[in-house]
Amino acid sequence: MKQKRILIVRPDRIGDVVLSTPIPREIKRQFPESFVAVLVRKYTRDIYLNNPHVDEILLIDDINPGEKNYFWRKVKEIKSYKFTHALMLLPDERINYILFFAGIRKRYGVGHKFYQAITFVKGISRNKYIPLRHEADYSMDLARAIGVKPESLDVEIHLTEKELQRSRELRKKYLDGKKYLIGIHSTSGNSAANWKPVEYFKLANTLLRNPDYRLLITDVDVPAELKNLPGVIYPDPDKKLSLREWFVIFKALDLLVSSSTGPMHICAALKVRTVSVFCPLPAASPQLWGPKGNDNKIILADKNYCDSFCPGDPKLCDFGGEKGMPVKKVAEEIDSFLLRLNPKV
């Protein structure tokens, strides 16, 4: 039987790429002799580094898209791998044509775009998200189309032994004798409903009253409200850390508090516990975007708040402070969540 040579295309944001990580594993489980590559952007490449189920990582933006002959250079590069299948998890017209001219005969994509139809892509419909399933499950539909029968949708990021050792060292350093290391990630890139920074400030001050807790801020661009808090850790504030370096820090945590955002999915992939504030609207709900594969706690705004004050767009919602997502409620959920768990060693 001819070897399956499969290209998984996911050229978008961190959380979306993390949610694609079950696909190579499940392909290799079904077709252990297959060759599996991923096509991603430079800034998400670290998600797939050291992944035992991925044979090659290709980049869509290692050449400036405006550079002369960019298109045909990419066609030539991808054609050299002699892929038999391509799974395009995000509709992208330019990439669609690159894969067509690269000679990949069996191509599968989300939706039914005109440019897909004229290049003979098999469209995989999401049926307007009815019934509502997880994004990782919808993405897996493209693997199902080539015969994969998945056993798990858990996401994964693989650290090296050196990275794991570094994470253990950082954890000991950061804890400095305390029991739990809690990360707070207050920003979301306006991708989901989220508290205003002042609410995270109030949460930090509430948690700092517990003598067992050490807090660490994981935002790259820390909001003014959360800067320079006494007793709070800011990892290498004067250094721009790589994504892999952030993975090492996230792995050191007992728990991350955030909204629905990329670091939440990173922690799920590293099997780090998460407490996440979520909007219940279908487009932003935990059924679609919740963490996958870790021990987690989802906190939703009060139903009365949603019924009375919902702006209709999750990106415009800040949970209305005490009316929708009280700081006290979130702090209590964090306390109870950690109390039933043992601290990491």
- Reported as a single tens digit per residue, the pLDDT across 187-231 is 988 878 899 999 999 999 999 999 999 999 999 999 999 999 999
Strand 35-40, strand 56-59: pairing: parallel
| Residues 174, 252 contacting (CB under 8 angstroms) | yes
CB 129 within 8 A of CB 285: no
Q: In 3D, which of 210, 217, 211 has the Cα closest to residue 232?
A: 217
Cα 7 to Cα 64, 65, 289: the distances in Å are 21, 20, 24
Q: Identify whether the C-beta of residue 154 lies closer than 8 Å to the C-beta of residue 29.
A: no
The pLDDT of residue 129: 86
For residue 136, give every residue at least 6 positions away whose Cβ sits within 8 Å of its Cβ, in sequence order, or none. Answer: 19, 20, 22, 153, 155, 292
Name every residue whose Cβ is closer than 8 Å to that of residue 206 and which is 6 or more positions away in sequence.
327, 328, 331
What pLDDT was estimated at residue 152?
98
Instruction: Note whether 140 and 148 are within 8 A (CB).
Output: yes
The architecture CATH gives domain 5-144: 3-Layer(aba) Sandwich (3.40)
* Residue 315 pLDDT: 79
In this chain, the answer to whether the domains covering 5-144 and 162-339 adopt an identical fold is yes
The dihedral region occupied by 331, where left means phi > 0, alpha psi between -120 and 50, and beta the remainder, is alpha
Between the alpha carbon of residue 334 and those of residues 207, 210, 320, the distances in Å are: 9, 11, 20
Choice among 55-64, 102-111, 313-322 with the minimum mean pLDDT? 313-322
Task: Report the pLDDT averaged over residues 289-318.
Answer: 86
Residue 303: pLDDT over 80: no
Helix axes 161-175, 243-252, angle to 10 degrees: 60
* Averaged pLDDT, 71-78: 97
* pLDDT tens, position by position, 312-332: 788 788 887 667 888 999 999
> What phi and psi values does residue 179 have, to the nearest 5 degrees?
-100, -40
Q: What is the pLDDT, as a whole number, of residue 312?
A: 79
CA 104 to CA 121: how far, in whole Å? 10
When computed from its CA atoms, the radius of gyration of the chain, rounded to whole angstroms, is: 21
Which residue would you say has higher pLDDT here, 111 or 144? Answer: 144
Q: Are 263 and 185 in contact (CB under 8 A)?
A: yes
The pLDDT score that the predictor gives to residue 323 is: 74
Tokens, residue 140: 């897996």
299, two tokens: 């906190």
Q: pLDDT: is 211 or 305 the higher one?
A: 211
Q: What is the pLDDT of residue 345?
A: 62
Single-letter code of the amino acid located at 294 = N
Confidence (pTM): 0.95
The two three-digit tokens of residue 149, written as one number: 């029968």
| Contact predicate 210/335, CB 8 Å | yes
The residue extents of the domains of the chain are: 5-144, 162-339
φ, ψ of residue 287 to 5 degrees: the values are -60, -30
Q: Which of 119-123, 167-171, 234-238, 274-278 has the lowest mean pLDDT?
A: 234-238
Give the burial string for 211-237 (b: 16+ CB within 10 Å, else e). eebbbbbbbeebeeebeebeebbebee
Give the helix, strand, coil percentages of the chain, each rounded to 5. 40, 15, 45
**Range with lowest mean pLDDT among 188-202, 233-247, 261-275, 315-329:** 315-329
**Hey, what CATH class is 162-339 in?**
alpha beta
Tens-digit pLDDT profile for residues 116-135: 999 999 999 998 888 899 99
CA separation for the pair 234, 229 (Å, rounded) = 9
User: Average model confidence (pLDDT) for the chain?
Assistant: 94
Q: Mean per-residue pLDDT for 242-261? A: 97
For residues 247 and 44, give the distance between their C-alpha atoms in angstroms, rounded to a whole number: 12
Instruction: Name the residue type at position 230.
Output: P
Cis peptide preceding 131, ω within 30 of 0? yes
